[in-house]
Amino acid sequence: MRVLAFAFALLCALPALAEEVVLGLSSDQVSINTNFDGSEILIFGAVKREEAILDDPRLQVIVTVAGPSRPITVRRKEKRFGIWVNTDAVEVDHAPSFYAVASSTLLGLALSNTEDLRYKVSIPRAIRSVGAPQNILDSKNFTNALIRIKSKSNQYQLNEGTVSVDEQTLFRTAIELPAALTEGDYLTRIFLTRGGEVVSKYETSIYVRKVGVERWLFRLSRENALIYGFMSLAIAIAAGWGASAIFSIFRR
């Protein structure tokens, strides 16, 4: 009883959150079908307070959306004897398939390095690479190469100054999802910061799922790989025969 009483007293002594997020999403589900060419998710919300609004430092809002993570092998190519060949390789242990960061100001102003290290907000912090071979001294360059490649395909995004904050209470932003999405749960986080320090955090998920024929083929490839392989072979043979027949008709 004394332990329970002490725990209750300690809990009551903790300060209540002065500011917290009330979030809304234009949609919490994204369906991938044959016509899917990308989507845009509107993220909006408000700040609930128990105290008066502080003017200094001003409230900043950071939004992150992260797709499912998996290991990725990054290879370096070098030209030897006139041929490009793979030389060194580094396996990145943890890399999100999609990652977007949106902030109400420059990310470096909205979040300190210490808080970034704690919450893994920036793109480099969201990637974990600790298993580089000992003979590779520039393993960081492999991570930078991965970020550069993913950024070109719009799968990694840094959108500074795109979160609108009205009266330090209402906020909104839009995250563009590219066509090449991995199926899974996309963790969405909202951070409220003041002076670079996180004062509140909120998490939810956006669900990305294949539907229709894509969903059936995806499940077939995972659950009945042999049947999927034979079906793919049959389709390839039929397509080749059809193309040959059409070409023969035009030759005549």
Q: What is the predicted pLDDT for the residue at 146?
A: 87
Query: Across residues 198-215, what is the average pLDDT?
Result: 78
Strands, sheet with 99-103, edge to edge from the N-terminal-most edge strand = 29-32, 197-210, 184-194, 59-66, 99-103, 156-160
* Range 133-153 average pLDDT: 77
Domain spans of the chain, in order of start: 17-210, 212-252
Q: How confident is the model over 230-245, as pLDDT tens digits?
A: 566 666 776 667 666 6
What's 110's DSSP letter? H
> Which pLDDT belongs to residue 171?
94
Give the global pTM.
0.72
Residue 60 is encoded by which pair of tokens? Answer: 């900043």
The third-level CATH classification (topology) of the domain covering 17-210 is Immunoglobulin-like (2.60.40)
**What percent of the chain shows pLDDT beyond 70?**
63
